[in-house]
Structure 1
Amino acid sequence: MISRRNARKKASWIALVALGAALVSAINVNADALPQAAYAAVSDPADGVWFSAPETIAPGVIYRSFQLTTSHGSASGHLVNVDLRNPKVSLELLHPDAVAKKDRISQMVGRQGAVAGVNGDFFNVSETHAGVAPTNSAVGPEITGGKSLKFAVPNKQRFGPKLPDGTSTRDVFGLGVDGRARVSSLALNGELKTKDGRIAINGLNQYALPQGGIGVYNHDWGTASRVRPTCGSDASRSAPCSAETKEVTVRNSVVTSVYSQPGAGAIPNDTVVLVGREQGAAILGQLQPGDKVKVSYRLVAEDHPRFLFAVGGFPILRDGQLLAGMDDPALAPRTSAGVSADGKQVYLAVVDGRTANSVGMTVSELAVLMQTFGAANAVNLDGGGSSTLVTRQPKAPAATIRNAPSDGSERAVANGIGVFVRD
């Protein structure tokens, strides 16, 4: 199968070179530079990727390490192949006990009972606004068990490499109720109904709201400050915090308080907090304690069916073709999730980088690599020190970190993709 896919990979390379995407042609085999004793018996070197012997983690879940050479030097990585044709195999969101919180992938895999996992979306970890610490919440949407956890921040408020053409923070990788994985995009259907009419809600448990918007924060958000959502702008993540804000607490559909500044602390299960900035703040300022309101919100896919699980990530492969606009030349550790055209074969991959044994990859090279594995659609996830791939034997108490995190140890992250196998 690898050799047949090689023909498709070469065809894509030719097309991209014709478009001037010279970076993508960097992946080439150099057998003399690779440990042939370990890899040659189970790989076709014509593909440029040398695989280790497959290791069955659980029925339908296979782990392999791999090596290849690029024009920049040698790179090594790790791949988990998930066969969703097995009805006992599934995917779910790995997450801490709050949206605005981070944890290690190995800990989340062990706690949630997964057999494998990779890190997920980019997240708010490296900045402080108005003296408020980072929220540690993810850039894009999150759905778990069919429940909407959070929506996406505005494009200019995100972290990570430049977005490819035609993509946004609303793009996700996930699993539908039909048992097929896919790459899609989510929208937020949110509404605040008052005695005076209906008002659109623009955010759900996210670290940045659009200018003039209103966001909903519930128990899932956690205890983090809700000031950060009113900072930055639609044009710049580093813009100052808004001077026009309001926070409204709603319990059992009744307004209980109205404040000028967003607060912090746990939100009870029977309560939602509305945070508004600019025009959104002006609208919330018209509410008074005792007013009856109705707050509704849910994430909906641009296609069908609905998602059981979804995590943010920007597309790098769509219908077998690499996306335009992937012009980031940086070499770094990379994480990706891809899926076959029929939605039944999932590829979770990490490429190590910034080490003596692995130089990392560009985003374009990662797209070619995922195509080589068999993915028709794939997303780029958080990389650098966040890139982590772990496996766990079904009855083992702890997960094993398979890659070499570039920080020297595993980094706590906002979320991840977990592989689950039912007994």
Structure 2
Amino acid sequence: MTRRQKRCRAGRTVLALLTALGSPAGAALAGAAPARAAPAAVEIAPGVAYEQFGLQAAGGPARAHVLAVDLRHPKVRLDLLYPGAVAERATVSRLAGRQAAVAGVNGDFFNITETQHPGVEATGASVGPAIAGGRTLKAAVPDGQRFGPALPPGTSTRDVFGVGTDRRARLDSLALDGTVTTSAERLPLGGLNQYALPVGSVGAFTADWGDASRVRATCGTDTERAAPCSTDTHEVTVRDGRVAATDQSPGGGPIAAGTTVLVGREAGAQWLRKLAVGDTVRVRHRLVAARSKVPYRFVIGGYPVLSGGQPLPGLDHRTRAVRSAAGLADGGRRVLLLSLDGSPEYRTGLTIAELADVMRRLGAVDAFSLDGGGSSTLVARAPGTTTVTVRNHPSGGTERPVPNGIGVFSTG
């Protein structure tokens, strides 16, 4: 196949994804004129194409950068970009480079600052559930502990965008199902590698957490992120099924493979105080999907904005920002990854309601909002190269380190 034929095929692939309801790619929001009549896509790998185009939104001009990913192509897959630990951050370009992704976009909202809790460091950990390569990394923090804009009605921190072992993308909700069992009692597990635990609960931290302090997990409440840190805490280290150490307060540092650190607050702390070194403890945890019966290979957090081709009710139509999103088409066989440009002439961005409308016009039936603002980043390789470059302009002027992202991988 000639280079010209490849470009034409890439254009047809993206056109099929970026055209919806008779509207061409680049069509602006309702009542506005299209910025261009047709897309000019570039195939960056078999089944993966990149496109950018202008939008005339109500608040001013915007520019979208879009990756169209055909999951029906046997050489293409999506997976989590992350630094190797939940409580760690790196730029999207660095994450994609480390994991040899051909393209990617930033992911979930995260614990970016801790101005309300003097002396407590932000962990950098993401808000929602995360699964990488079929392995569960973490569960969701309580809704009230979330960083980012207000959630639309009916959504929660448990909402996810993911790809199952059937290679289909879907939107779902994942809840933690876990227990801590001793010879005398059994207690529900309240968290897994989370920067915030429910009041009165016990949370588990594994080697996937990293070496960040676990103190933040006991700060705030289920409804108020800025509430003071708990003064009633306890920590138990479990190794090879037995209590290896106890402490009155959460610690930090790396957690060895095969070791679980249990952190309790309030009632959870009181329960952990019953344990002594040498006691038998069994910790079990898994994420349970609300809708899909197909196991997930990859999952990332955020929140839905479009379902069944219709915007969710109650979406914010006032606050504009640079944003990123993921959309699903063709029964989850095709995925659209979008990131807005953050350069000064486009920095007004879109409202969440506008974002949902843009994703619908691009052909998405379901769509999912990812972190935005200074986090919004889209990277992709140029044809014939092996290194990704940033395609949009991050609004902060440089890439912001983030906890995770959606990586596009190709063996072609």
Give the counterpart of 2:363 among 374, 383, 387: 374
**Partner Cα separation in structure 1 for residue 206 and residue 350 of structure 2:** 39
Give the counterpart of 2:84 among 89, 94, 97: 97
1:6 correspondence with 2:40? no
**Partner Cα separation in structure 1 for residue 359 and residue 257 of structure 2:** 41
1:87 correspondence with 2:90? no
The alignment partner of 1:400 has SS state of strand
1:287-302 matches, cutoff 5 A: 287-302=275-290
**Partner Cα separation in structure 2 for residue 395 and residue 126 of structure 1:** 40
**Partner Cα separation in structure 1 for residue 302 and residue 228 of structure 2:** 27
Give the counterpart of 1:254 among 232, 242, 266: 242
**Partner amino acid for 2:20?**
R
**Partner Cα separation in structure 1 for residue 111 and residue 343 of structure 2:** 22
Give the counterpart of 1:314 among 289, 303, 306: 303
Which residue in 1 is equivalent to 2:105?
Answer: 118
Q: CA deviation at 1:395?
A: 6.5
* Contact 2:43–2:383 (Cα < 8 Å) also in 1: no
Give the counterpart of 2:57 among 70, 80, 87: 70
Structure 1, unpaired ranges of 5+: 10-24, 44-50
* Contact 2:29–2:358 (Cα < 8 Å) also in 1: no
**More off after superposition, 116-125 vs 345-354:** 345-354
**Partner Cα separation in structure 1 for residue 411 and residue 356 of structure 2:** 31
Structure 1 residues 334, 258: CA separation in 2 closer, same or farther (over 3 Å shift)?
A: same
**Partner Cα separation in structure 2 for residue 270 and residue 394 of structure 1:** 42
* Contact 1:194–1:293 (Cα < 8 Å) also in 2: yes
Q: CA deviation at 1:255?
A: 0.2
1:388 correspondence with 2:377? yes
* Contact 1:27–1:365 (Cα < 8 Å) also in 2: no
Q: CA deviation at 1:327?
A: 2.1
1:56 correspondence with 2:59? no
Which residue in 2 is equivalent to 1:167?
Answer: 155
Structure 2, unpaired ranges of 5+: 1-15
1:106-185 matches, cutoff 5 A: 106-128=93-115, 129-185=117-173
Query: TM-score scaled to structure 1, two decimals?
Result: 0.89
Q: CA deviation at 1:330?
A: 1.4
Which residue in 2 is equivalent to 1:349?
Answer: 338
1:30 correspondence with 2:19? no
The alignment partner of 2:392 has SS state of coil
1:278 correspondence with 2:281? no
**Partner Cα separation in structure 2 for residue 395 and residue 282 of structure 1:** 60
**Partner amino acid for 2:94?**
Q
**Partner Cα separation in structure 2 for residue 73 and residue 322 of structure 1:** 22
Report the identity percentage. Answer: 51
**Partner amino acid for 1:288?**
A
**Partner amino acid for 2:373?**
G
* Contact 2:359–2:367 (Cα < 8 Å) also in 1: yes
Number of residue pairs aligned between Structure 1 and Structure 2: 392
Give the counterpart of 1:404 among 393, 402, 407: 393
The alignment partner of 2:270 has SS state of helix
**Partner Cα separation in structure 2 for residue 258 and residue 395 of structure 1:** 55
* Contact 2:18–2:363 (Cα < 8 Å) also in 1: no
**Partner Cα separation in structure 2 for residue 30 and residue 373 of structure 1:** 15
The alignment partner of 1:326 has SS state of coil
Q: CA deviation at 1:143?
A: 0.2
Q: CA deviation at 1:396?
A: 3.4
Structure 1 residues 247, 100: CA separation in 2 closer, same or farther (over 3 Å shift)?
A: same
Q: CA deviation at 1:158?
A: 0.3
**Partner Cα separation in structure 2 for residue 259 and residue 239 of structure 1:** 23
**Partner amino acid for 1:81?**
A
The alignment partner of 2:50 has SS state of strand
Q: CA deviation at 1:392?
A: 1.8
Q: CA deviation at 1:72?
A: 1.6
**Partner amino acid for 1:255?**
V
* Contact 1:26–1:72 (Cα < 8 Å) also in 2: no
Deviation track 1:364-411 (CA, whole Å, cap 9, x = no partner) reads: 100001111111111100000000000025873421100011001111
Deviation track 1:134-160 (CA, whole Å, cap 9, x = no partner) reads: 000000010011111011110010011
In angstroms, what is the RMSD of aligned CA positions?
A: 1.8
Query: TM-score scaled to structure 2, two decimals?
Result: 0.91
* Contact 2:309–2:365 (Cα < 8 Å) also in 1: yes
The alignment partner of 1:164 has SS state of coil
* Contact 1:386–1:411 (Cα < 8 Å) also in 2: yes
Deviation track 1:9-65 (CA, whole Å, cap 9, x = no partner) reads: 9xxxxxxxxxxxxxxx9544335xx5xxxx44xx1xxxxxxx3x1100000001000
Structure 1 residues 28, 404: CA separation in 2 closer, same or farther (over 3 Å shift)?
A: farther
* Contact 1:161–1:328 (Cα < 8 Å) also in 2: no
